[in-house]
Structure 1
Amino acid sequence: MDDRTYTADAEPGDTVTVAGWVHEIRDLGGIAFIIIRDTTGKIQVKFEKDEMDDDLVETGLNAHRESVVAVTGDVEDEERAPTGVEIVPDSLDVIAEADPELPLDPSGKVDAELPTRLDNRTLDLRKPEVKAIFEIRAAALEAVRDAFRDLGCTEINTPKIVATGTEGGTELFPITYFGQEAFMNQSPQLFKQLMVGSGLERVFEIGPIFRAEEHNTPRHLNEATSIDFESAFYDHREAMDACETIVKAAYEGVAENCQDQLEALDMTEEFEVPDGDFPRLTYEEALEKINATGELDEVLVWGDDLSTEAEHVLGDEVGEHYFITDWPSEIKPFYIKDHDDDAEVSTGFDMMHPSMELVSGGQREHRYDKLVDGFEQQGLDPEAFEYYTKMFKYGMPPHAGWGLGGERLIMTMLGLGNIREAVLFPRDRQRLSP
């Protein structure tokens, strides 16, 4: 099969072997057509029954939809064909026969509910608009990696099985690890901080994280992809600059490399690369904007977290990607540094799409004594994290960073209604297979 011709490359006058899936069969009596689909598109194969070998015609017309076939023949002009050319076959081999009863219709003519699609993901991705999501995701991550390298980052890979949770709490997945309790990692946070103190200084990671959240919503997953950044000698403002750069790079990569995919999703006209600086609102300013709308049942006060409804209200007001800065120290993790002139206010920030939070970050506490105090204030045992805290005794530079939800980035970029649309095989409270 290495010498096969892709459908998009078939030119009139060529003799080709095309391999792919039977997309459609049209039997019009004396003439019949099979549409073959491969990764580059579709091509028509014409069967003139009176002029062809009966076995060839029978083999072609008896192949079920979605069977894998290989067709060899001459390519001819045919303006009425879907792509302006067609193959007149000399041979057709059925490589893998498909069951005539398909659990969903890859042609998209008959819709399927999301659970059915996820149960049959291989078939689901044969639809151009579904495949396009994952080609866009790949292009976005490629652009993100390139942008990180342009920022002088080293890509790292950190453990996903850990002895302690990054942030404690009930969101941990416990596992048995050679007779002792361990956990699936919630975040590479602590490890990437250790790396900026190692001499690498500026690092990034794109990898899985695990949260045992009870949420069962269109925007939560229990296994997700986190895009993480950390840099020595950065403060929270510089970390926000880097965050803005990376998000814009993802959009630019899709705009430059995925026009066919955007067309498959009917997004060619509406897809826009974010332009200009993302607005930066303090937490206090965010509360004022939300309360001023009068759309919430309760008035938000200092120390309240933002509910989904509050995020939507604020997102409608801002209307673009934006940051919320200067969060109350009490509702940010122990490793977030407080402002030097006000211990009640942290350097923590969130970066928001108008519809949801995408990024959480901030400057980190690099001073050992204050880091240990932060553990105790949040009810965590510093001794359980000694592998992490002790390195802060050996010269840890000031540093800052963030984590960006990969699926949320794609979900908001493409306006998907459910985050599971951006995952090949989602893991949530109900789904552990496939």
Structure 2
Amino acid sequence: MSKKSYRNKIEIAKEKEKNKEELLKKIERLQKRINDLEKSLNKPQNIQDKTELYLKHPEEPVVTPTLKKTVVNEQILWEINNSQRATKGLFEIKGNYEKICSIIPNALIIADEKGKIIFWNKAAEKIFGYTSEEALNNDLLNILVPSEYHQFFKEGFNRFKDTGEGPIIEKPSEFIAKKKNGNNFPIEITLSAIEVDEKWYSVAIIRDISEHKRIEESLIQTHQKLEGMLNNAVNTLVKIIELRDSYTSGHQKRVSELAVAIARKMGLNEKKVKLIKIAALVHDIGKVGIPSEILNKPTKLTDLEFNLIQTHPQAGYNILKEVDFPWPVEEIILQHHERIDGSGYPRKLKDDEIMVEARIIAVADVVEAMSSHRPYRPGLGIKKALEEISQNRGILYDPKVVDICLQLFREKKFKF
């Protein structure tokens, strides 16, 4: 399944959930009316007395944690003047209540303060496998929650029944639920609380996310395959460079190790760390187009030769822009010789014009190159390399990157 199809499925699911709060409000109001109508049927049918009672209390508040106090207009109750009309009104409201609940595509379950199920809609029957008759008056915990999660739910419910509060109230959460046949499956649940007669009732809207999880797992597997292919491509590029110039290959590996250590110490996320690792492993790939006689020349380079060396970032960019990397590897390679004062090449970028990934690789590149043996000179050592980045901190090199690099070596948390 394509990422586009997956996103479409997710969007459809979100759209179905969009009006959930509005439906809950209607349900709360209808439930209150039903309660009041049922009470009215149990009282003596004195029309005058009943009318006076409703006129004294024309409105009653319903309390929910999200809506605080919602005033429900009881105009319908004022119009009731006999038991027949009251009964008719009661059935009409119950009918409307059932209609609202029947259009909800997800399970709607209401439990009382003891955790007993008092409402169970058609979608709940389909999702969990229990009919309404089987589910009503049963303990929510025992029939819907796998035994290994009982303790967690008991602790949450004990808090809820006293306060109407809990860690997942009004927060969509994912859990494992249990079907009638005993099979466990993933759900997304949104819990709301309604207070009636100083008792808290839980209203749960639940959707089966088995298909969502299946798609998610499929995407993860696809991503892993693509990542494997990407790693193979990078390793192939590294081997090509190694065949051409063994010094450059070893240099790139060491630069990658240091750049990754700096990135992690800076707190960059794993996506950026992975990008830096890959970009550093191939940052000098553009040198494949430079004659090995120049790369390995033991004497000082001529101006012409040095100018040719300076073309390798652009050459690397041209090679890798044709590779379908999921990250801007080619842009980092193009920028790894830029300097924050604008003295670098090829585009003379400054400060934040240079990607942070390129600024990190630039520092790692200089430290490794100066401390290691080069064809035209022996290695200068790590001390000299650290002096270079320290002296040019904030001039050529990003000060934050320099500070982290110095810290890694001084605290002996990194070595080549």
Judge same fold: TM > 0.5, yes or no.
Answer: no
More strand by share: 1
- Identify which of structures 1 and 2 has the higher relative contact order when contacts are C-alpha pairs closer than 8 Å and 6+ apart: 1
Give the TM-score taking structure 2 as reference length.
0.27
- Larger helix share, 1 or 2: 2
TM-score, normalised via structure 1 length: 0.26
Larger Rg, first or second structure (1 or 2): 2
